[in-house]
């Protein structure tokens, strides 16, 4: 067994890779040794490969502020998922700050991986993104607090505005859309001010929002809206990727209609269909994460840690 396999199998993924799967991932030219200063991903590049940090660490930086790490990636962290799922140019660079080992997942080889392995990869990638939301929510909370303090504004305001997102039904056949709409427990209506999910509570369901909008808040100050979200997105992904414990509140801004989906019923779906849904979930999360890097830089500026000279 290679060193890459040994380290990979020792990492604590929500969906662990089997010996056969880790051998497949570590085969070929995908394994790369990193030295401090090596660039795994370069902002503006058009490639779509995704990377898994197996050993060592990397910083996420933007060209406009290269000395401000927007995130730190340790063993078990994925990066490059935005380009993988959207096909867009790289939004930031990923640079090693210490020696280590990284595993490249080639987008061109996507059809060579079994569906079961791709489900594990996508589940682990999305769980990694969900875990980053704790830091992102803190960034948005601090920025929203500063903006309210300095500029005023209503409680429904958000530092990143209103996100409509990507429809969960796009790319599905009519039959697949029908299966998704028919999953139990079924249709639910929530009045303005009602909670779809509460921070700190455990759920075994997700919520496919069909009509209406919701705001995301945290218990530290429920009056502050961190994000405002529109319809046709799947909410409550913490239920699937964080053992059911939610890191924020989802509160109806207007009357909401949606489908409450049980996790057991979701996980029992055909694997190929689930792969489609994971792809849509990824786009939903990326849509929420996309404004965060700019928000982080804006926060650093407002807190006096950075100055855009003029």
Q: Sketch out the chain's domains with CATH numbers.
A: 3-113 (2.60.120.10), 120-301 (2.60.120.10)
Query: Average pLDDT for residues 181-195, to the nearest whole number?
Result: 96
- Both tokens assigned to 218: 């945290």
* pTM of the entire predicted model: 0.88
pLDDT reading at 188 higher than 90: yes
Distance from C-alpha of 214 to C-alpha of 211, rounded to nearest angstrom: 10
Largest CA distance in the chain: 60
How much is the mean pLDDT over the chain? Answer: 89
Do residues 265 and 272 make contact, with C-beta atoms less than 8 angstroms apart? no
Among the listed residues 217, 214, 237, the one whose alpha carbon sits nearest the alpha carbon of residue 225: 217
pLDDT digits (tens, 9 = 90+) for 50-88: 999 999 999 999 887 778 787 899 999 999 999 999 999
Residue with tokens 């010996």: 19
Please give the share of the chain, as a percent, with pLDDT higher than 70.
95
Strand intervals (E) in 137-267:
162-163, 185-190, 195-197, 205-211, 214-217, 227-229, 233-235, 249-252, 256-262
Residue 46 φ then ψ, to 5°: -110, 5
Rg (CA), the chain: 20
264 band by pLDDT with thresholds 50, 70 and 90: very high
Distance from C-alpha of 214 to C-alpha of 97, rounded to nearest angstrom: 39
What are the CA-CA distances from residue 189 to residues 24, 186, 233, 274 (Å)? 46, 10, 16, 25
289 band by pLDDT with thresholds 50, 70 and 90: confident
Maximum mean pLDDT: which of 7-11, 142-146, 214-218: 214-218
Least confident of 37-46, 168-177, 178-187, 298-307: 298-307
- Both tokens assigned to 52: 């898994």
Query: Average pLDDT for residues 249-254, to the nearest whole number?
Result: 96
DSSP-derived secondary structure letter, 65: B
pLDDT digits (tens, 9 = 90+) for 138-181: 888 888 888 888 777 554 467 777 787 779 999 999 999 999 99
Among the listed residues 143, 164, 159, 280, the one whose alpha carbon sits nearest the alpha carbon of residue 214: 164
Distance from C-alpha of 18 to C-alpha of 15, rounded to nearest angstrom: 9
């Amino acid at each position: 067994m290679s060193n890459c396999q040994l380290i990979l199998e020792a990492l604590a993924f929500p969906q662990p890779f089997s010996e056969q799967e880790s051998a497949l991932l570590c085969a070929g030219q995908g394994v790369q040794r990193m030295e401090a200063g090596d660039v795994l991903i370069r902002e503006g590049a058009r490639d779509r490969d995704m990377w898994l940090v197996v050993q060592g660490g990397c910083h996420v930086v933007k060209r406009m502020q290269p000395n401000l790490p927007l995130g730190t990636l340790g063993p078990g962290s994925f990066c490059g998922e935005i380009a993988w799922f959207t096909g867009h140019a790289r939004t930031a660079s990923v640079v090693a700050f210490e020696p280590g080992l990284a595993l490249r997942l080639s987008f061109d080889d996507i059809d060579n991986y079994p569906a079961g392995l791709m489900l594990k990869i996508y589940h682990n990638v999305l769980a990694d993104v969900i875990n980053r939301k704790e830091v992102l929510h803190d960034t948005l909370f601090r920025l929203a607090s500063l903006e309210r303090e300095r500029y005023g504004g209503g409680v429904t305001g958000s530092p990143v505005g209103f996100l409509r997102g990507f429809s969960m039904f796009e790319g599905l056949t009519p039959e697949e859309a029908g299966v998704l709409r028919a999953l139990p427990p079924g249709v639910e209506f929530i009045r303005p001010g009602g909670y779809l999910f509460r921070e700190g509570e455990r759920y075994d369901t997700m919520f496919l929002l069909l009509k209406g909008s919701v705001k995301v808040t945290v218990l530290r100050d429920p009056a502050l809206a961190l994000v405002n979200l529109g319809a046709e997105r799947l909410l409550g992904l913490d239920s699937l990727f964080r053992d059911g414990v939610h890191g924020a509140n989802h509160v109806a801004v207007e009357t909401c209609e949606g489908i409450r989906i049980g996790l057991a019923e979701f996980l029992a779906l055909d694997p190929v269909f689930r792969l489609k849904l994971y792809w849509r979930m990824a786009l939903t999360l990326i849509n929420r994460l996309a404004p965060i890097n700019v928000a982080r830089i804006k926060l650093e500026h407002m807190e006096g840690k950075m100055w855009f000279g003029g």
